[in-house]
């Protein structure tokens, strides 16, 4: 099982990874066949790169190179095949002995959530069974395994075993449902299945790997580690009844909180590395969101590539300064303090005529946040370090953030992490080694943009808010559904209005790692201009 981490669009780099992995599998494990993920040669998802004929020409050259460079080992690789805007297929080719022995075209093209394969591909119709070393391999690709027909077609065509190539992105709980669906195909066909998944981050998406094999009885007999690229061998042999028996090693199973934390680390690391950023810079506030972001960054790329900036104002508590410094020192990252009060005063002086007759409100709060954004972006421009914004999904949902202020940045690791989960992740990270000061976790959260300010002054408690957000954003409940479920109608109406009117902010937010099945951006696409509100009624 060739669980590799391709780079989207880097066809030459990806084919090099395939050749190196195949040679390693041959030399170290005496492997006969290496199965790679879906769209191996282009990476997944290539999106509108698929509309460029030049990409397909590179893929064709890569397939020719694979045929010439592989000796003594066969490979099954995913790639686009065909003609742009005419008949382009999501394909998998079996390459052995210097030839493409056969190719399979994906039958079921997902067109929901983060997937839009029908924009690019047409559906295949035929089964593909390859007879190699006296074993008949039936081939399917990703979504095909969630339906009965492709596996049944392969079985009817004489397959002894099903090979399933995947680029299945992570979201919470998904890894559990994969086995259930694959096991159902085993029950229906009586054939074992090898499920090979991609690993690594690609923009908002993150792929957990976790490739596995199920025996003809549905028992999991091999499991690759999650979040680790590598080669994970299985052995196939035929028993006296003619059935294919699979054996392999079982990597330890991770907990759900481990999976989420590693998803964030992996997605952040690959975004930084694949886009060639030398380092990152974080505005460290002494609060839990920036603290968790710092821990993730250090775990992703190392302390020597992370810098933190504390930017206190007149409203910043001394304990925030102390806690930020303690955490930065504990993780051994470069840390400096740049007060913003003088900048804030200059802005107020410059705007004094425009503000005559008004009282301080969120305008002054946002100016402070934008002072910090300017400082961080200036350091980014001068040093090349990417700014990590630190906002979480709960704040993004209700607009508890400042455009061009704390939202400034190149990447947002916590963009799809509700506030209540932020606390759980902080506790989990501290269970490994205590890097987040306890007071940061136990203090009531505050933006510290006004005297004695607390998040709960303007928001429902996060335990309640996150429940409402999950209902409205993840489950697509409407106002009436939420009230019928027992939530206070005034609170529900207020929260929904906050979510709806802040779509314009989210549209301008940096990308971030998707860990739920309804993330802002690729998943949840709502109009900015909309008359659909809580008060909308059909008379």
Q: Which residues carry out catalysis? A: 38, 106, 142
Angle CA 236–237–240, to nearest 5: 150
Cβ neighbours of residue 171 under 8 Å, at least 6 residues apart? 514, 515, 516, 517
- Rounded-to-5 percentages of helix, strand, coil across the chain: 40, 20, 40
204 in Cβ contact with 103 (< 8 Å): no
Place of tokens 């880097």: 10
Please report the DSSP string for 126-186 in residue order. Answer: S--EEEETTEEEEEEEGGGGGSHHHHHHHHHTT-SEEEEEE--B--TTHHHHHHHHHHHHH
Question: Rounded to whole angstroms, how far apart are CA atoms 66 and 73?
Answer: 11
Q: Are the C-beta atoms of residues 167 and 142 closer than 8 Å to each other?
A: yes
Do residues 380 and 410 touch, judged by C-beta distance below 8 A?
yes
Residue 215 CA from chain centroid, whole number: 30
What does the CA dihedral 468, 266, 204, 8 come to, rounded to 10 degrees?
Answer: -160
CA–CA separation, 451 and 442 (whole Å): 20
Distance of CA 125 to the CA centre of its chain: 31
Q: Is the CB of residue 431 less than 8 Å from the CB of residue 455? A: no
Are the C-beta atoms of 245 and 252 separated by less than 8 Å? no
């Amino acid at each position: 099982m060739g669980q590799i981490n391709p780079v989207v669009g880097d066809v030459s780099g990806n084919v090099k990874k395939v050749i190196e992995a195949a040679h390693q599998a041959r030399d170290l494990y005496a492997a006969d066949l290496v199965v790679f993920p879906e769209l191996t040669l282009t990476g997944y998802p290539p999106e509108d790169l698929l509309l460029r004929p030049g990409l397909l020409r590179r893929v064709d050259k890569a397939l020719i190179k694979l045929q010439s460079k592989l000796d003594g080992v066969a490979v099954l690789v995913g790639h686009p095949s065909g003609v742009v805007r005419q008949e382009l297929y999501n394909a998998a080719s079996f390459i052995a002995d210097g030839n493409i022995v056969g190719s399979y075209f994906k039958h079921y093209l997902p067109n929901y959530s983060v997937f839009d394969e029908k924009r690019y591909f047409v559906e295949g119709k035929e089964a593909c069974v390859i007879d190699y070393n006296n074993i008949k391999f039936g081939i399917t690709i990703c979504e095909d395994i969630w339906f009965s027909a492709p596996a049944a077609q392969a079985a009817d065509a004489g397959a002894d075993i099903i090979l399933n190539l995947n680029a299945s992105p992570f979201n919470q709980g998904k890894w559990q449902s994969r086995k259930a669906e694959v096991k159902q195909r085993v029950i229906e066909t009586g054939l074992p299945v090898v499920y090979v998944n991609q690993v690594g981050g690609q923009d908002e998406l993150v792929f957990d790997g976790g490739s596995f094999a199920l025996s003809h009885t549905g028992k999991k007999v091999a499991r690759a580690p999650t979040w680790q690229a590598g080669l994970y061998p299985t052995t196939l042999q035929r028993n006296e009844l003619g059935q294919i028996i699979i054996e392999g090693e079982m990597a330890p199973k991770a907990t759900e909180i481990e999976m989420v934390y590693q998803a964030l680390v992996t997605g952040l690391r690959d975004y930084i590395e694949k886009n060639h950023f030398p380092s990152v810079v974080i505005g460290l506030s002494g609060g839990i969101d920036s603290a968790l972001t710092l821990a993730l960054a250090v775990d992703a790329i190392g302390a020597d590539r992370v810098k933190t900036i504390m930017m206190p104002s007149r409203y910043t508590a001394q304990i925030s300064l102390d806690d930020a410094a303690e955490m930065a020192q504990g993780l051994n990252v470069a840390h400096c303090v740049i007060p913003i009060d003088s900048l804030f005063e200059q802005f107020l002086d410059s705007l004094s005529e425009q503000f005559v007759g008004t009282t301080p409100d969120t305008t002054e709060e946002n100016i402070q946040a934008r002072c910090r954004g300017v400082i961080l972006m200036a350091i980014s421009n001068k040093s090349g370090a990417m700014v990590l914004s630190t906002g979480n999904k709960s704040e993004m949902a209700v607009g508890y953030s400042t455009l061009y202020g704390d939202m400034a940045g190149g990447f947002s690791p916590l963009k799809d992490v509700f506030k209540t989960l932020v606390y759980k992740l902080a506790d989990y990270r501290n269970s490994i080694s205590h890097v987040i000061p306890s007071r940061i976790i136990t203090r009531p959260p505050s933006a510290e943009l006004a005297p004695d300010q607390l998040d709960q002054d303007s928001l429902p408690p996060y335990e309640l808010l996150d429940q409402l957000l999950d209902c409205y954003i993840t489950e697509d409940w409407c106002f009436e559904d939420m009230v019928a479920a027992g939530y206070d109608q005034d609170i529900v109406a207020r929260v929904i209005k906050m979510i709806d009117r802040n779509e314009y902010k989210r549209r301008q937010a940096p990308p971030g790692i998707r860990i739920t099945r309804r993330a802002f951006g690729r998943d949840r696409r709502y109009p900015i201009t909309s008359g659909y509100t809580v008060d909308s009624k059909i008379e």
